[in-house]
Amino acid sequence: MADSPEKSNVQSSAQSGAQDIRRTIDAVWRMESAKLIATLARMLHDVGLAEELAQDALVTALEQWPQAGVPDNPGAWLMTTAKHRAIDRLRRHQLQQRKHEELGYEIELHQQVREEDLLDALDDPIGDDLLRLVFTACHPVLSQDARVALTLRLLGGLTTDEIARAFVVPEPTIAQRIVRAKRTLAEANVPYEVPRGDELVERLSAVLAVVYLIFNEGYSATAGEDWLRPHLCEDALRLGRVLAGLMPQQAEVHGLVALMEIQASRAGARTGPSGEPILLLDQDRARWDRLLIGRGLAALEQAQKLGGTRGMYALQAAIAACHARALKPEDTDWASIVGLYGELSQLTGSPIVELNRAVALGMLFGPVAGLELVDALAGEPTLARYHLLPSVRGDLLFKLGRMDEARGEFERAAGMTRNERERGLLLERAAACTGGA
């Protein structure tokens, strides 16, 4: 006998409710996991164990919340559950009774500041678990790939599968990187702390580089079917905003946040209905997010107020700001952009920056000026497999009416890129050269 309509409706409602709770748990985990892991790592001085116990708290939520309902403060519920797990683990390892009392006191609902906490705060000028976790995940003892994977896992809340798909790398490879990274941190006995003095500046550069790399991979994917990966941009932006709040006197932190905010403002205009790329000068600027632009300009102003020489992120943010302020492409202040790229080139010595300066020179003085610099970069070893070199050269040749040469450059660039969307765009541009379109 078939189920009655009433019974089917009840089953459907129950399934829908369970799915809603699961989505809620996923959202809470994405928002709270970094805080959980950071707090547990401070208690346990072991990032791997901290992540394991945070995951245990998540499993408990998955088991209990569908029956008991989502707590009024789900983040606090997860934190308390995770801390209980940490205390149980410490007790099983027979730590001193005084440590038990301190940890037990810490999880009471109404905490009071103890003398020990005040002394710790005086010893730690920043005093934030999340910041310690950022610097631990980006420790120089780890390779760049390992730092990125571990940062996304611990601070971005991404699963191993999500990280693998984002960077178009097999999931076992990412899993191995994360496992090795946590083992390396443990074996090297890396202290769970924020460095000071000269070491802070050195390590901060590594942290910012990782956040910048994550954002760039989301903004313009190296490989795969999609040109944009918005979740990576969002995760990098969130990390940058956290850093700016925790280190408000660091100009380059604000510079990076400014750069990411302004670049992210264009996301809605950078792809067409089918996901095809739309280049900067062809974008509908009415679709740029003015709120993000405002946030970016405010962050750039803060970076400039802090004084000192402008770093690489603040300079790039200033370039992005020139585009953001132009309501129409023809309003763009190309003279300022050329000057900023010159300053950035002197700072970094990067041939890629020089390639970007060539584009700006071509816009300011005409394609011949841009092509002269591009041709001078042709012998740079670091650009030998960089697809944007022939792409830029093809664009300049196209503007000069040298269609056969332009087509060859666009085809060469298409053969170099690993991103399918970008390859399609470059082949379209190559086809447009036929017949002088």
For the residues of 10-45, what is the DSSP string, one character each?
Answer: HHHHHHHHHHHHHHHHHHHHHHHHHHHHHHHHHHHS
321 confidence band (pLDDT: 50, 70, 90): very high
1 confidence band (pLDDT: 50, 70, 90): low
pTM, two decimal places: 0.73
Map out the domains of the chain as residue ranges.
14-109, 385-437
Express as a percent the part of the chain with pLDDT over 90.
Answer: 42
Residue 371 has pLDDT above 90, yes or no: yes
- Helix or strand holding residue 233 (H, E): helix 230-246
Residue 152 has pLDDT above 90, yes or no: no
Within 13 Å and on the Cβ side, how many CA atoms surround 38? 22
Q: What is the pLDDT of residue 111?
A: 44
Q: What is the pLDDT of residue 6?
A: 59
172-186 pLDDT, tens per residue? 999 999 999 999 998
Q: 384 vs 65, 179, 183, 357, 413, CA distance in Å?
A: 55, 34, 36, 18, 11
What is the spatial distance between Cα 279 and Cα 221, in angstroms, rounded to a whole number? 15
249-278 pLDDT, tens per residue? 999 999 999 999 999 999 999 998 888 889
Q: Is 419 helix (H, G, I), strand (E, B) or coil?
A: strand
367 confidence band (pLDDT: 50, 70, 90): very high
Q: What is the mean pLDDT of residues 14-28?
A: 75
Q: For the ranges 4-13, 40-49, 271-280, which has the lowest average pLDDT?
A: 4-13
- For residue 26, give every residue at least 6 positions away whose Cβ sits within 8 Å of its Cβ, in sequence order, or none: none
Q: Which of 48-57, 76-85, 299-308, 386-395 has the highest mean pLDDT?
A: 386-395
Q: What is the mean pLDDT of residues 28-39?
A: 82
